[in-house]
Amino acid sequence: MLVLNKILAVYIGPAGYAVVGQLQNIITTLTAVASAGVGTGVTKYTAEYGDDRQRQLIVWRTAGFTGGVGTLLIAIIVIIFHEQLAAYLLHDEKYGSVFIWISVCLLLFVFNTLLLSILNGTKDIRSFVIANIANSLIALAVTGMLAWRFGLTGALIALSINQSVACIATILICGKLEWFSLKNLFGRPDRDTVAKLSHYTAMAVVTSVVGPIALMMIRQIMIDGVGATAAGYWDAVNRISSIFLMLITTPLSVYYLPRLAEIKDVSDIKKEIWAGLKLLVPVTVAGALLIYFTKKIWIEILFSKNFLPLIDILVYQLCGDVMRTIAWMFSFYLLSKSLTRQFIIIEILINITYVAFSYFLIESIGAKGVTIAYFINNFLYLVILVPCVLKSLGAARNDNE
């Protein structure tokens, strides 16, 4: 990802970053809707049914069926409206072919998500890590080559296809495992399993639709208020956050989600959350301080000297990242226990406030306002989540007694 950042910075520049960020949000949304957002649910129930392969297979086949049907419907809609989507979302009809590529490759995007979720749920960490490394290297090769050859258009096409190419690597890795077979991944859906997965469908779709839409709205507010170049700086800052948070929060998805899903005792859940906080908070704070005090070096390494103006907006983003890491520890509890209503209400509320804070702060103080809004919003996210989780744990303890 570090190398890919550098390639994109050199060949598309700050303004192009805004377009790339827009397309990434679009792909996230389409993939979540097409797959019915079952990735998290598959991880949770695969881990929960760890000693019952037959129940795992029912989950996998149901997820494969719903993902296949959803992908077909979304692909047809995107193909029909590809020019309108390009004009409205990317502000240029010439990028209509990008949406055709997305439609063609969408099934492999979804299948890749399903396989990675199964690897995570079975706690096959070795295969999971190898698959993710392979996915990243393929994304680097495809995006780097096309961006170098065709500039911004090439980068957009690469984003539209790289996960489908990466899926081939994931299939080769999973093909060596005893559970891998198409008949284990696609079949008649089970009604009870559909009902169970629907909780995660609702939560994942909200996260993967509301969040990217909020980012697209904020990006448009920035373009209208302070220009496309400033919006590109903001997307570059988000890219730094993504890389930083990926290093910090990967244990949450790889370890804590399956772990919290299988723990039943309330005191054990509290111990697990507290152990995670003691590990992640100091590491996050130390990482944020390191990035801040070496920010000029990092910006020139990751991007180019053209991106140095983002120094002015970086500090509040890093403070927001610290708040977000702590909040995610509690958010993953809601995910692991299928607390759908609370999760959805909080996610929708927090994205609405993010857009609102960004609008008013960008209007009043310019580009810096968007990262101040990010910090304030993540602090609010934490303030809302903690009482919600404590209340749920208290209710669970009373039920057990």
pLDDT at 351: 92
Torsion 89-91-93-97 (CA) sign: negative
Q: Mind spelling out the 3-state secondary structure of the chain?
A: CHHHHHHHHHHHHHHHHHHHHHHHHHHHHHHHHHCCCCHHHHHHHHHHCCCCHHHHHHHHHHHHHHHHHHHHHHHHHHHHCHHHHHHHHCCCHHHHHHHHHHHHHHHHHHHHHHHHHHHHHCCCHHHHHHHHHHHHHHHHHHHHHHHHHHHHHHHHHHHHHHHHHHHHHHHHHHCCCCCCCHHHHCCCCCHHHHHHHHHHHHHHHHHHHHHHHHHHHHHHHHHHHHCHHHHHHHHHHHHHHHHHHHHHHHHHHHHHHHHHHHCCCHHHHHHHHHHHHHHHHHHHHHHHHHHHHCHHHHHHHHCCHHHHHHHHHHHHHHHHHHHHHHHHHHHHHHHHCCCHHHHHHHHHHHHHHHHHHHHHHHHHHCCHHHHHHHHHHHHHHHHHHHHHHHHHHHHHHHHHC
Which letter, b or e, does each residue of 193-228 get, where b requires 16 or more Cβ atoms within 10 Å of its Cβ? bbebbbbbbbbbbbbbbbbbebbbebbebbbebbeb
**How far apart are the C-alpha atoms of 341 and 196, rounded to whole Å?**
14
* pLDDT of the residue at 129: 87
Confidence at residue 121, expressed as pLDDT on a 0 to 100 scale:
84
Token digits of residue 172: 């080769």
Cα 92 from chain centroid (whole Å): 26
pTM (global) more than 0.75: no
Contact call for residues 84 and 138 (beta carbons, < 8 A)? no
Domain definitions of the chain by residue range: 2-400
**Amino acid identity, position 43:** T
pLDDT at 356: 95
pLDDT of residue 21: 80
Cβ neighbours of residue 43 under 8 Å, at least 6 residues apart?
117, 118, 120, 121, 253, 257, 258, 261
| Cβ count near 262 (within 10 Å) | 13
Q: Residue 9 has what pLDDT?
A: 74
Task: Report the chain (401 residues): mean pLDDT per 10 consecutive residues.
Answer: 74 76 83 74 81 87 87 92 88 87 89 88 86 87 85 86 86 89 84 79 75 88 87 85 78 69 75 81 88 84 79 88 87 73 86 94 90 94 88 68 52
